[in-house]
Amino acid sequence: MSETELSTHIEGLLHAMPPVAALQPRLAELADGGCRLQAPLAANINDKGCAFGGSLVSLMTLAGWGLVAAWLERRGIKAEVYVADSQVKYRAPLYDDLDACAQFTDSFVADVVLQELVDKRRASFQVRAEVRRSDGGLATRMESRYVAVVPDQIAAE
């Protein structure tokens, strides 16, 4: 799968989920070290005229999911990716369009993860996601753990 096909694949998965389509997300960047999703404020606004916290978490969660899913896809690993836990800090209200970037944390070591997938058919990924305001200030930060599971029927193919 080429990088363009991979982006189209990930974006297609996003828009196929009704609650995600409602956020109107756009895959702005998809690289081996980062995934960036954008969404218009108008579709994600709360009663105070700024971004709804649930939309911020959704977009950051999806950016992390896209990061992990694409990383596995590039290595030919067919696995289901789930978010397992998250710590969210809402630091400042966001009055701009939403722009969420997800990256692996420093504790991520590719070789360790690949070995875990071979040995146990599952592995954890630590991801940090952020939404920044147009002035560069931090709006929201999230640290999450994702789990990739290689299903038995896939492993047995």
Residue numbers at the binding site for a second copy (CB under 8 A): 13, 16-20, 22-23, 42-48, 52-55, 57-59, 61-62, 80, 82-90, 93
Cα–Cα dist 126/118, whole Å: 18
Cα–Cα dist 85/66, whole Å: 16
Reduce the DSSP state of residue 143 to 3 states and report it: strand
Query: Locate tokens 């974006």: which residue?
Result: 11
Cβ proximity to a second copy: between 33 and 54 the closer is 54
Residue 21: CB minimum distance to a second copy, A: 8
Reduce the DSSP state of residue 5 to 3 states and report it: helix
What's phi and psi for 136, nearest 5 deg? 95, -15
Residue 84: CB minimum distance to a second copy, A: 6
Residue 88: CB minimum distance to a second copy, A: 5
Cβ proximity to a second copy: between 89 and 109 the closer is 89
Burial of 71 (C-beta count, 10 Å sphere; 0-12/13-18/19+) = buried
Cβ proximity to a second copy: between 114 and 121 the closer is 121
Cα distances (angstroms) measured from residue 92 to each of 20, 43, 53, 124, 132? 23, 19, 11, 30, 9
The H or E element containing residue 122 is strand 122-132
Cβ proximity to a second copy: between 88 and 114 the closer is 88
Cβ proximity to a second copy: between 81 and 113 the closer is 81
Residue 154: CB minimum distance to a second copy, A: 14
